[in-house]
Amino acid sequence: MHTYDVFTQYERNHWKLTDVDFSAVRKDLVQPEYVTIAKSAVMGESNVIAAVHGFLNEFVDDYDFSTFAVVWGNQEVQHHYMFKAWLDAVGEKVDDGAVAAMRAPYDPGTTPSATLATNIISELTVNHIYRRVAHAVQEPVLHDLLLKASRDEAAHAREFIHFCRERLARHPEEKASVLETLYVYTSDSRIKHPVGLFKSNLTELEDHETIDTAFELFLERVADADELKELQHKIRRVFGGIVEMDLSTNGKVRHALADVIAA
């Protein structure tokens, strides 16, 4: 099984939260926006439980991917707790009620391939943003945590890409749903993420940071002028490789979707 190799690689190479020295946090270097980013990340990463629940329900016939979902979930819980630990070190708290409100599992996607596509977009997005924000953060512990998380998300994206390719090879009729998902998430002038799309309107999150708070702050304070376009282009390029089609622009995504539906 593919996940056996993934699991053993993660065991050999993955970092441990217990090795992070949170007593080394430089409180004198902490800016208010760092706290906002960390609280938003705690909320975003807390969706791992809902996501794993949804994966296990939707992929009940796929043992290999289900085992990956559990391995992936462990690392995402680690991200959730590392940002929480950093906030504890600087004397900030996240509302447990807001975190608990994220628990409900996600509904299945239009197809299992669409669900995998959604998570590819999620991983590529946070990989990019964690890395870019890390280079803008002066507090060394948070800087290091963001880089760790960014590398993890890149590895996760690779595996979701693998499983999406495998799924499409078995179910080519699901290709249209993948293209549709891509268009939904990359055709807007803002960063769209499944957590924000499906969970940010919960009443329990009123007056609380959400993952969208971090995205807005990123675009306002960190991102270059064309960075959103570059991120969306990168995502489309990855999907082009998955479906072996030219998806370099939103127009080409629409044409590809029309061609696939017509065929």
Tell me what pLDDT residue 107 has.
84
Query: Could you tell me if 76 and 28 are in contact, meaning their C-beta atoms sit under 8 angstroms apart?
Result: no
For the four alpha carbons of 169, 126, 72 and 204, in that order, the dihedral sign comes to negative
Q: State how far the Cα of 84 lies from the Cα of 79, in Å rounded to an integer.
A: 9
The alpha carbon torsion through 189, 235, 76, 21 (nearest 10 deg) reads -80
pLDDT of res. 104: 87
* In the chain, % of residues over pLDDT 90: 86
**pLDDT for the residue 192:** 85
Average the pLDDT over 70-85 and give the result. 97
As a whole number of angstroms, the distance between CA 62 and CA 44 comes to: 26
Look at the block and give the residue holding tokens 């960190």.
222
189: left (phi over 0), alpha (psi -120 to 50) or beta: alpha
> What is the mean pLDDT of the segment spanning 70-80?
97
Please answer whether residues 197 and 102 qualify as being in contact, where contact means their C-beta atoms are separated by less than 8 angstroms: no
Rounded mean pLDDT, 163-190: 96
- DSSP letter for 200, please: T
Question: Distance (Å, rounded) from C-alpha 19 to C-alpha 178?
Answer: 39
Instruction: Tell me the average pLDDT across 175-196.
Output: 91
pLDDT of residue 210 exceeding 90: no
| Beta carbons of 58 and 112 less than 8 angstroms apart | yes
Q: Residue range 91-107: average pLDDT?
A: 91
pLDDT over threshold 80, residue 200: no
Within 8 A by CB and 6+ apart from 7, the residues are 67, 71
Instruction: Render the burial of 233-242: b for 16+ CB within 10 Å, e for the rest.
Output: bebbebbbeb
207, pLDDT greater than 90: no
- Average the pLDDT over each of 12-16, 106-110, 152-156 and give the range with the smallest value: 106-110
Q: Which of the four pLDDT bands, split at 50, 70 and 90, describes residue 121?
A: very high
Supply the pLDDT for residue 151: 97
> If we measure between CA atoms, which residue out of 29, 32, 37, 31 comes closest to residue 218?
37
Amino acid letter, residue 8: T
Which of 257, 242, 245 is CA-nearest to residue 120?
A: 242
pLDDT at residue 65, rounded to an integer: 98
| pLDDT over 90 at 70, yes or no | yes
pLDDT digits (tens, 9 = 90+) for 213-236: 999 999 999 999 999 999 999 999
- Residue 14 binned pLDDT confidence (cut-offs 50, 70, 90): very high
* Chain Cα centroid distance, residue 161: 13
| pLDDT tops 90 at residue 23 | yes
**45: pLDDT strictly greater than 90:** yes
8 Å CB contact between 228 and 219: yes
DSSP-derived secondary structure letter, 249: S
Average pLDDT over residues 244-249: 96
Mean pLDDT of 97-109: 89
pLDDT at 106 over 90: no
Say what percent of the chain tops pLDDT 70.
99
Average pLDDT of the chain to the nearest whole number: 94
Average pLDDT on 191-211 reads: 80
- For 58, the token pair is 């939707």
Separation between Cα atoms, residue 258 and residue 263, nearest integer Å: 9
